[in-house]
Amino acid sequence: ISPRILPGKIEGQVVLVDSDEHDEWGHITESDEMRIKMVDKRLKKFEGLREEVEEPWFIGEENPENLVVCWGSTYGAVKEAIYKLNAEGVSIGALVFGDIWPFPTKRLLELSKKAKKIIDVEQNATAQLDSLMRQEALIKSTIKILKYDGRPFSGEEVYLKVREVL
């Protein structure tokens, strides 16, 4: 796999890109065979990436009956809610996804087998993480808590919404 020069990483170097296919030496080509070869080469990068991608980290009670899944800016609010629910004796934990592509599935598959409810908490209107879970792990959340009014979740807000659905 050819190394990639990232823009701004080498002083004095200019990185030019376009949408044309290129051969191994960077020359533009319209060859069908070269196109297939180069696409296959790029797809092989995913093999290495799959080994490097981080599994989501876990917070909360081990082997929980209820599992929250989240990613990105929802982390702080979800963490606060999980700790508060655990303090009340609720069997709940959360998987917090940092890397989402290639989608890491190992911990999700393990914990989802034990969970009675999978609660998806996302800061968007279309449940993007839930879509990835269904596509890559054949797991669908049982409950979605979505917010897309432009304001972040608060810990209390997540706590109350999760409490409501348990």
pLDDT tens-digit map of 2-13: 777 777 777 887
Query: What does pLDDT average to over the chain?
Result: 92
pLDDT of 147 reads 98
Q: State how far the Cα of 43 lies from the Cα of 27, in Å rounded to an integer.
A: 20
Angle at CA of residue 25, ends 102 and 35, nearest 5°: 55
- The arithmetic mean of pLDDT across residues 25-47, rounded, is 89
CATH of the domain at 142: 3.40.50.920
Answer yes or no: do 126 and 149 share one domain: yes
Question: Quick one: average pLDDT of 128-149?
Answer: 97
Share of the chain above pLDDT 90, in %: 74
pTM over 0.75: yes
Contact 158, 145 (CB under 8 A): yes
Q: Among 9, 30, 50, where does a domain finish?
A: 50
Output the pLDDT for position 1.
67
The reply to whether 82 and 119 lie within a common domain is yes
End-to-end CA distance of the chain: 48
Do 76 and 22 have their domain in common?
A: no
Contact partners, residue 101, CB within 8 Å, separation at least 6: 53, 132
Cβ–Cβ under 8 Å, residues 65 and 91 = yes
What is the span of the domain harbouring residue 136?
A: 57-165
Per-residue pLDDT tens over the stretch 41-66: 888 888 888 888 899 999 999 999 99
Domain shared by 139 and 155, yes or no:
yes
Do 63 and 45 share a domain, yes or no?
Answer: no
Same domain, 28 and 76: no
Number of domains in the chain: 2
